[in-house]
């Protein structure tokens, strides 16, 4: 349903063009969920915003690529048609619910605005039912509340309700459970998974947490330095990661570690967007790097259903 091909996005800083997403490809089927994983600064949130064409001048620009939703290229739509797509077909859960909600309007008003429509009674019934499924107690009484009257976790639930109220075909969620405690995280993730199956919803889930990715997603795309360095079925990628960065993420993840084993931190820091290396962006931190890794960005090779951007992919499996 979603086909992203060769997507390039830049930011403007001090009069220069800073590359943030550098030619990524993503394919997401209806009724399936894909996790977009990577460290902060890897480009995953920028990729999500780019798909919705929400990065605009003077901040930045989506400069190249195709974004097809049900075969329709969103890059070719004018502003009015794109707003209709965002209004009816794509739901978005932002990372920070504090800035996502308007402090001047009640919770009911903000959720109802995203609702497809109907009588006030029908809309209120649907809004209350959605809030109750998201774990908001006394949902009907809370309709007249304002965002500041909710805790951070409750505001996150309201943000999710706004995204789901429009009954979208594609839901893009950027770290939607960050503000929630562990128990509530699991409940929300299970609810999103239920709604995905009930509504045949396509879910693009942006996260740095591999445990979260395993819980709700069937496919995985690992980003680093503005590139997708490995992608494929989540079970296959996690069982035998072919890119050294994917392996490093798994080694640093407590949910994937062997009992009583020591977690291994990834040495160094991700490269700044203003100073990306000419070759593989992970090369300065990679234990398998050789001179050729610094010459050019590696091509994408395919191993069954897994795609990898690494000249040492076979070695990485055995490492």
Per the CB < 8 A criterion, the answer to whether 43 and 20 are in contact is: yes
pLDDT at residue number 14: 87
pLDDT at residue number 261: 66
pLDDT at residue number 179: 67
pLDDT at residue number 318: 47
Superfamily, domain 2-89+168-318 = P-loop containing nucleotide triphosphate hydrolases (3.40.50.300)
pLDDT at residue number 72: 96
Q: What is the mean pLDDT of each run of 10 residues along the chain (319 residues)?
A: 98 94 97 96 96 96 97 96 96 87 96 92 95 92 95 89 94 86 84 91 94 92 98 96 94 66 82 93 95 95 96 69
pLDDT at residue number 118: 87
Secondary structure, 3-state, the chain: CEEEEEEEEEEEECCEEEEEEEEEEEEECCCCEEEEECCCCCCHHHHHHHHCCCCCCCCEEEEEEEEEECCEEHHHCCHHHHHHHHHHCEEEECCCHHHHCCCCCCHHHHHHHHCCCCCHHHHHHHHHHHHHHCCCCCCCHHHHCCHHHCCHHHHHHHHHHHHHHCCCCEEEEECCCCCCCHHHHHHHHHHHHHHHHHHCCEEEEEECCHHHHHHHCCEEEEEECCEEEEEEEHHHHHHCCCCHHHHHHHHCCCCCCCCCCCCCCCCCCCCCHHHCCCCCCCHHHCCCCCHHHHCCCCCCEEECCEEECCCCHHHHHHC
């Amino acid at each position: 349903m979603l086909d992203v091909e060769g997507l390039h996005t830049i930011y403007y800083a001090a009069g220069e063009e800073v590359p943030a997403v550098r030619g990524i490809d993503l394919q997401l089927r209806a009724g399936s969920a894909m996790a977009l994983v990577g460290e902060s600064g890897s480009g995953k949130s920028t990729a999500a915003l780019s798909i919705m064409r929400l990065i605009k001048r003077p901040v930045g620009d989506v400069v190249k690529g195709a974004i097809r939703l049900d075969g329709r290229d969103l890059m070719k739509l004018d502003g009015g048609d794109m707003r209709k797509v965002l209004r009816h077909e794509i739901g978005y859960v932002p990372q920070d619910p504090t800035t996502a909600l308007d402090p001047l309007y009640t919770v009911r008003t903000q959720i109802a605005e995203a609702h497809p429509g109907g009588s006030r009674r029908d809309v209120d019934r649907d809004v209350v039912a959605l809030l109750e499924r998201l774990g908001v107690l006394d949902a009907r009484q809370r309709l007249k509340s304002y965002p500041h009257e909710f805790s951070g976790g409750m505001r996150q639930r309201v943000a999710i309700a706004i995204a789901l109220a429009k009954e979208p075909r594609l839901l893009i969620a950027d770290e939607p459970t960050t503000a929630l405690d562990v128990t509530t995280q699991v409940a929300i993730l299970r609810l999103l998974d239920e709604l995905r199956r009930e509504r045949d919803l396509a879910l693009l889930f942006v996260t740095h947490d591999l445990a979260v990715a395993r819980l709700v997603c069937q496919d995985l795309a690992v980003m680093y330095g503005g590139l997708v360095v490995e992608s494929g079925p989540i079970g296959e990628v996690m069982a035998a990661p072919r890119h050294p960065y994917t392996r490093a993420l798994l080694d640093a993840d407590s949910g994937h570690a062997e009992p009583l084993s020591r977690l291994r931190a990834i040495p160094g820091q991700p490269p700044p967007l203003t100073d990306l290396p000419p070759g593989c962006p992970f090369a300065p931190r990679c234990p398998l790097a050789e001179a050729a890794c610094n010459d050019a960005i590696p091509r994408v090779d395919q191993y069954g259903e897994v795609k990898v951007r690494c000249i040492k992919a076979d070695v990485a499996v055995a490492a």
